[in-house]
Amino acid sequence: MGMSVTISGATEQDAEQILKLQFLCYQREAELYGDYSIEPLTQSLASLKAELASGTVLAARLGDEVVASVRGSVDADGTARIDKLIVHPRMQRHGLGGRLLHAIEAKLSEGGAVKSFQLFTGHRSEHNLQLYRRHGYEAVARRRIHERLTLVTLAKPVEAGAFVASA
């Protein structure tokens, strides 16, 4: 390819690409759980634009193409919630998901108020579970949504000095 993937803040101009990528990436999850009504497949463009305006959204780009994205927010209690980490199928298994996870953790930690990180995935999403475990997350809760889906909540504490800004 000759180009490297760059990660930066997503803008409203990225919204359509992110929504299309989200739709593509969550097809496998929907198939795995037999449920095509999951929120990532039904989210509207207006709703995504509202998230872009109010939260932290990062995009990984290969040239002009958004090939991965992740969202996050910090609660009043200092819990950073990470959501919708997506990587284009052709870009998976090359470390981009881990790079994006690290980038959102660093971005959310900038204010110094973050005490822990939390995210969730489905119990059958083994690749997701492996990625999160490799990055220090541990299962802290399970919630059964229906007979085919149990959500696994994973968390990890912020380590002192873990996110030093790089020049």
Q: Is the pLDDT of residue 160 over 70?
A: no
Q: Which range of residues forms the domain containing residue 34?
A: 5-157
Domain membership flag for residue 166: no
Please answer whether residues 49 and 10 qualify as being in contact, where contact means their C-beta atoms are separated by less than 8 angstroms: no
Confidence at residue 146, expressed as pLDDT on a 0 to 100 scale: 84
pLDDT at 162 over 60: no
Whether 162 is covered by a domain: the verdict is: no
Q: What is the pLDDT of residues 102-156, one digit of tens each?
A: 999 999 999 888 999 999 999 999 999 999 999 999 999 999 988 888 899 999 9
Question: pLDDT tens digits for 44-55?
Answer: 999 999 999 988
Q: Give the per-residue pLDDT at 112.
A: 86
H or E segment to which residue 81 belongs:
strand 79-87
| Structural domain contains residue 62 | yes
Q: Are 70 and 47 within 8 A, CB to CB?
A: no
> Could you tell me if residue 103 is inside a domain?
yes
Specify the pLDDT at position 147: 86
Q: What is the pLDDT of residue 166?
A: 41
CATH number at residue 37: 3.40.630.30
In a domain, residue 164? The reply is: no
Which residue would you say has higher pLDDT here, 84 or 1? Answer: 84
